[in-house]
A = this chain, B = another copy of it.
Amino acid sequence: MNRSELINIIKQKKSFLCVGLDSDIEKLPQHLLKEEDPIFEFNKQIIDATLPYAAAYKPNTAFYESNGVKGMMSLKKTMDYLASKRNECFVIADAKRGDIGNTSKQYAKAFLSPEGDFDFDAITVAPYMGKDSVSPFFTYENKWVILLALTSNEGAADFQYFESQDVKLFEKVLTTAQQWGTKENLMFVCGATKAEKFTEIRKLAPEHFLLVPGVGAQGGSLKEVCKYGLNKDCGLLVNSSRGIIFADKSEDFAKVAGEKARELQEEMASYLK
């Protein structure tokens, strides 16, 4: 999906909500465990209930890999199910990959190749190994790298604020990576728990889309993120995972997830005005 298609979805739905499919099998509603593939059944119902309100979905690969080969089958089924809805939503592999060029090329094939099992629109990538670990992900047309810049967790402070001559590491990532990709194929992960940093981030990356985790369970404020993070094309995808998908564990889980997504969508619509 290219940038203008993504912006159109956001405009149509009045939403820049990304629903995180962190579908932990230990947290699924009990009644789904009798299904042949509980994770896929869960995702399918979540997608059906939230699609009118969500601009994007973001399966986190960890929650599939933790079920081994069977989990990867659940991920494949989820992607097959989303295939018929691909002009209605942007789909991100939250995989945080990155390796030497020869190897990143294989990860790019795994997650972005239209001929592969997973054909995502975008993949999250870790910057530590530098340019040749990131570049192979730019090979596929209309596919995106979403590079970690400032993450939402406590450990972000360990290295991301490491500072040289008044430049912090996450700022160096933001500026350096703009030599590798453009606003048409590169986004950055910037955590909602650091909303006060968005002014500074927007100075360094005014036009790029930002994928913003940390609203909801991790405590970030949507209002604050929008205040400092929105740009003229919206420029944000704000993720909520646990706050939507595990809001209810009864047989009504999908309905409640849809309501939670609608609440966020309505709040987002008010900021988009």
Stretch of A10-18, A129-137, A194-202 on the interface side: A129-137
Question: What is the CA–CA distance of A264 and B162 in the complex, to the nearest angstrom?
Answer: 39
Copies of this chain present in the complex amount to: 2
Pairwise interchain contact A24-B106, C-beta atoms closer than 8 A: yes
Question: What is the CA–CA distance of A103 and B213 in the complex, to the nearest angstrom?
Answer: 13
Does A255 make an interface contact (CB < 8 A)? Answer: no
Does A176 make an interface contact (CB < 8 A)? Answer: yes
Does A43 make an interface contact (CB < 8 A)? Answer: no
Question: Shortest Cβ distance from A242 into chain B, in angstroms?
Answer: 8
Does A128 make an interface contact (CB < 8 A)? Answer: yes
Contact with B along A139-163 (1 / 0, CB 8 A): 0000000001001111111111011
Residues of the B chain whose Cβ atoms lie less than 8 Å from the Cβ of A60? 99, 103, 106
Pairwise interchain contact B126-A154, C-beta atoms closer than 8 A: no
Does A100 make an interface contact (CB < 8 A)? Answer: yes
Restricting to A190-210, which residues have a CB under 8 Å from any CB of B?
Answer: none
Question: What is the CA–CA distance of A173 and B98 in the complex, to the nearest angstrom?
Answer: 17
Does A40 make an interface contact (CB < 8 A)? Answer: no
Question: What is the CA–CA distance of A89 and B235 in the complex, to the nearest angstrom?
Answer: 49
Question: What is the CA–CA distance of A12 and B130 in the complex, to the nearest angstrom?
Answer: 38
Pairwise interchain contact B100-A128, C-beta atoms closer than 8 A: no
Residues of the B chain whose Cβ atoms lie less than 8 Å from the Cβ of A68? 72, 76, 110, 116-118
Does A66 make an interface contact (CB < 8 A)? Answer: yes
Does A96 make an interface contact (CB < 8 A)? Answer: yes
Question: Shortest Cβ distance from A213 into chain B, in angstroms?
Answer: 8
Choice from B96, B100, B126, B176 contacting A153 with Cβ under 8 Å: B100
Does A183 make an interface contact (CB < 8 A)? Answer: no
30 interchain pairs (CB within 8 A)? A24-B106, A62-B103, A66-B110, A67-B110, A68-B76, A68-B110, A68-B117, A68-B118, A69-B72, A69-B76, A72-B72, A96-B129, A98-B126, A100-B151, A100-B152, A100-B153, A100-B218, A126-B128, A126-B129, A127-B128, A127-B158, A127-B159, A129-B151, A129-B153, A129-B156, A130-B158, A131-B155, A134-B155, A162-B169, A163-B164
